[in-house]
Amino acid sequence: MAVGVLALQGSYNEHIAALRRIGVKGIEIRKPEQLRGVDSLIIPGGESTTMAKLAELHNLFPALREFVGSGKPVWGTCAGLIFLANKAIGQKTGGQDLIGGLDCTVHRNFFGSQLQSFEMELSVPKLAEKEGGTSTCRGVFIRAPAILEVGPNVEVIADCPVSSDQLKVAIPASDGQQEREFTNNRVIVAIKQGNLLATAFHPELTSDSRWHRYFLGMVEEAKEEATPSAVMVKYDLYGDGNDRAKKPHDLPIFE
């Protein structure tokens, strides 16, 4: 199995290393024609405005939208989440192009500046049910976005509390609704909708491989639906219970 990783800017090397640790090849994607050689795609974290400008420069947006619309699995982390959202607020002047596909509203820089980056244990029972391990995972939030609203067909996988000093956010009016204030005490940070997965944090910067294995499960399911007779590889999260300790990490990660 090979997974495409959009390699315009950001943490694409870390995603490729995370895939390598579980025996999967990551292919760097920089041109539209390269998308034809992969059945799935990871859009990494980074600076979303810069990534959008580079994607526009390389005429990638039409191909990326076609890829998402084809039903092939796509996972966006941090900036990748912003790319996949149907609606993004808190953008820089002039905004940026989005790929779309996820029925959600994302705040581009909800948690603040680079100095407000943080780590947090997240409750992820659905991930644990699917991939084993503990019911929590380490979330690394680096100048991170947050999901303020989701549509009825979106599955919420993880959320996190909003601190008391977090500024209230105005959600612009749309579809005949009035502008309103987001006042919830929790925000959503991981969702799944059909062939799309998105996380506001960076699983590729931790030693927990379950998010990448979860995405590979989506790839296998998509292939199974396309070719029901195919034999799919099944992954065991921890093998003998110590597989992560046996595999050297070739890039720095947060334990």
Q: Give me the active site residues, please.
A: 78, 202, 204
Burial 58-72 (b: 16+ CB within 10 A, else e): eebbebbeebbeeeb
Tell me how long the chain is.
255
Query: In the structure, how many helices (H) and strands (E) does the chain have?
Result: 7, 14
The conformation of residue 221, written as its DSSP 8-state character, comes to H
Cα torsion 6, 85, 131, 230 to 10°: value is -70
**In whole angstroms, what is the distance from residue 6 CA to residue 251 CA?**
18
- 143 assigned ligand-binding residue: yes
- 30 assigned ligand-binding residue: no
Token pair 């959009």 in the structure block, residue = 6
Burial 124-152 (b: 16+ CB within 10 A, else e): bebbbeebebeebbbbbbbbbbbbbbbee
- 164 assigned ligand-binding residue: no
- 47 assigned ligand-binding residue: yes
Cα torsion 85, 86, 91, 96 to 10°: value is 100
Radius of gyration of the chain measured on its C-alpha atoms? 18
- 70 assigned ligand-binding residue: no
| Residues placed in the known binding site | 46-48, 108, 142-143
Annotated binding residues for L-glutamine, written as ranges, equal 46-48, 108, 142-143
